[in-house]
Amino acid sequence: MPPPLRLQHIHLPSPSPTNLPPYSLASKLQSLLRRHHLNFKDSPSTNPPPPPFLISFTPLPIYTLGRRQSSPLSPQELTRLSRPLSYQNQTLPVTTSHSPRGGLTTYHGPGQVVLWPVLDIHSKRHKTFTVRCYSRLLENTTIATLEKMFRIRAFTTEDPGVWTRVGGGEEERKIAALGVHLRRHVSGLGTAINVDMPGTDEVLSERENPWRRIVACGIEGKTVTCVREVVAHITAGEGPGLKGTEEVADFWGRELSERIGVDGVDKISGGRVAELLEEAVVRSEEGWEGGEEGYVEEVRRGLGGWVEEALDRGV
C-alpha cells in the first residue's frame, strides 16, 4: 500500500533582512519541480509520481512584468524601478524581470510572503481542478488564511487578487496578488500576501515605498495594503498579533493541503533545501546568476545559528 500523499512545503529561509533569496533562484527551483511533474506525465511507467509541492519565500526586491507589458520599459522607467530600496535602515538592490503571468507590473520583496504551489491540477491522486477552479482555490486559501490567522475579512472582486477594506472604510485595497501559469496542467506561480510592508499611501517616498513607483498590476485608482495595516485598525485589545511571513506560509500550506485533499504537509528544511536549490541551478539554462550562489552557501553554512534567530524575528 503506497504511503499517504502529502504536500511537500519548501520554505526558502531569510537569514537576515538583507540576505533574502533572489527571485531568480526560486524560479529555477519552481522549474525543477515542474519538470518532475512533466517527466511523469511523459513517461509514467519509468518516473515515480511526484507529490504536490509548495515553495514559499520572501525575495529580494524585484519588479516583475506580466504578459500584458507588450512594450519594453523606457530607460527612464527602468532607472526609476531599479533604484535601491531602503528597508529597516538597510539599502537593498532592486531588479526587474519578465514573468509568464498575465497583467502588467507588480512588486515582490521584504515584508511579503510569496507562495507557489507546483502540482498537476488534473492528477487523480488528489482533487482535480479546472483552470478557473484552481484560481479560485488560491483565492479561497488566501481568504481563509487571512480570516483564521488575523480576523481579516478579505474577498475577491472583478479585478485579480484578494482585497479587503481598512478600518471600516469603503475603499477596496489589494492585500494579496494572484498570478497563475499552467504548462500541461502543471501549475506555476501562485499568490503573494502583503504581511508587513508599506501600503500605497502610508509612505510617500519612492525610496522607502516600492508601490509608489508603479500602478500595481496596471489597475488605475486602486491601492495596496498589508496585514499589519489592517490588523492595526481592529479594536484595540481584541485584534490578533502580527505573524511572521514563515508562519503565514505554514498556515497557508496547511489550508491548501486540506483543500486539495492530501494527508497533511511535510516541511522540507535545512540541508535538503540547499541541495534542491543547487540542483535547480545546475539543471537550469542560465546557471548561477547574481547573488544566488552566495545565498545557497549561506543557507548551507548557517543551518545552526541563524535559523533560531530568524524564527525569533518571525521571518
CA distance readout (Å), 241 to 234, 244, 245, 315: 10, 10, 13, 14
pTM metric for this prediction: 0.91
Task: Give 162-210 pLDDT, tens digit per residue.
Answer: 999 998 788 999 999 999 999 999 999 999 999 999 887 888 899 999 9
Task: Give 102-153 pLDDT, tens digit per residue.
Answer: 567 889 999 999 999 999 999 999 999 999 999 999 999 999 999 999 999 9
**Percent of residues, the chain, with pLDDT higher than 70:** 89
* pLDDT attached to residue 28: 97
**Residue 50 predicted with pLDDT over 90:** yes
Q: How confident is the model at residue 311 (pLDDT cuts 50, 70, 90)?
A: very low
216/222 Cα distance (integer angstroms)? 8
Task: Give 237-289 pLDDT, tens digit per residue.
Answer: 555 666 789 999 999 999 999 999 999 999 998 789 999 999 999 999 999 99
37/44 Cα distance (integer angstroms)? 10
215/151 Cα distance (integer angstroms)? 28
Which amino acids are annotated catalytic?
217
Average pLDDT over residues 64-93: 83
